[in-house]
Every structure is written in C-alpha cells, then in structure tokens.
Amino acid sequence: MNAFLKRVWIALAATLVVSLAAVILPNQVQIDGDGRVHLGAPVAEPSVSASAPVPEPEPTSPALTRDEVDEVIRTAVRAAGLDPEQGKSTAPAGPDLNRTGWTAVLEKAAAQSKVKAISADLERQGWVLNPHRDSADTSRSYKRGGWYLLVHARGTTRAPSNALGDSQTDLTMTGLQLNLSDVPLPEVTVRMR
C-alpha cells in the first residue's frame, strides 16, 4: 500500500508542477492530444484547440522603465475619467524597479465600465492583450516591453480598518517586469496517463 500511495503522491506533485508551469510560462509548455506535456523548446507540431483563444504575438518594442509604465498607468486612468491622484500607488518608490501599480476604491456599478475604458486605452497605447484566464468584465492582463500589466476590479475586503462597503470595489492596476526568456528551461517530456 505504501508504494501505491507514493506513486499517487508523485503523480499529484508532477501534475501540480506541470499546471503551475503552464500558468506561469504558457509559451514554454505544450500539451499533446495524447497527454504528453513538453516543457522548454516547442514541439515541432503542437496541437492547437480550435476553441482556445490564441494570444497575439507581442510587437517588438523597446524595454520600458518603471517611470514609463507609471505614466502609462496614469494616462489609462485619466482616459477612463478617473483622477490618478484620487488613488494611491501600490508599489512604494525605492529600489524595486520591477513592479508598480495603482489602486482606488470605486462603486461596483462603475468598475466594469472603468476596466473596459482603461483596457481600451492600454490597447491604444500598444499593449497586447494576454487573454489567458481573463474575464472581460473584471480582469484583463496585458504585456509590452518586458512588462505585464493586470487591470482588475474585485470586491474583496482589505484590512479591517479599510473595509469596503457593500457597493464598493477596488480597481487595481498591477505592473510587473518579467524577463522569462532569460530563464533557461531544460527540455522535459512527461507522459500523463
């Protein structure tokens, strides 16, 4: 029985690792129709599901600095009819130049239209939509110049002293600079049965 449980735990761990890799590095993970998972270099003929959205290739653009991404955020917020000064930065100024963000409390009724307006302005500014696991109404992610920018509105409660009212939500833009192309991945093939 112990050998069986060991195999079950190993299979679960392998599934978890592959699932996390597929979320974090979607361009580096391919799954065949027969259940084989390929990590690293792309397979010669990957199978493509007709129903899955295909992300647009990112146009070649120069790397952006944190200050440039901050200006992109301010411009998109203004385009949505909001005042950037009414919100607050989610990443303090300092040595961490790989992340930035902005957040504000809005009425839930207005949040969906603000997310759409911010998204439209980001696309106008040349950001490419990354449709993987997005919700058209409350969450969108974009990429450009080595940065990933997530726009989302969630009715979650923050710290008890800053609890949101029933009709309020947080509108947040989070920017992360990730250069995953520099991370070497070994070529691994796992067969899932």
Ramachandran region of residue 133, left (φ > 0), alpha (ψ -120 to 50) or beta? left
What's the pTM?
0.59
User: Which residues are registered as beta bridge partners of 148?
Assistant: 143, 176
> Do 112 and 173 belong to one domain?
yes
> Do 83 and 149 belong to one domain?
yes
Q: Could you list the pLDDT tens digit for every one of the 193 residues in the chain?
A: 677 777 767 766 767 666 666 666 666 666 666 666 666 655 455 455 555 555 555 456 688 888 899 999 999 999 999 999 988 888 776 666 888 999 999 888 888 899 999 999 999 999 998 866 556 566 888 999 889 999 988 755 444 445 677 788 888 999 998 765 555 555 666 655 5
> Do 51 and 93 belong to one domain?
no
138-172 as b/e: b if 16+ CB within 10 A: bbbbbbbbbbbbbbbbeeeeeeeeeebeeeebbbb
In the chain, the number of structural domains is: 2
> Do 99 and 43 belong to one domain?
no
Specify if 60 maps to a domain: no
> Do 40 and 80 belong to one domain?
no
Domain that holds residue 45: 2-55+181-191
The strand ranges marked E within 2-157 are: 29-31, 36-39, 88-89, 99-107, 128-129, 139-144, 147-154
Report DSSP state, residue 180: G
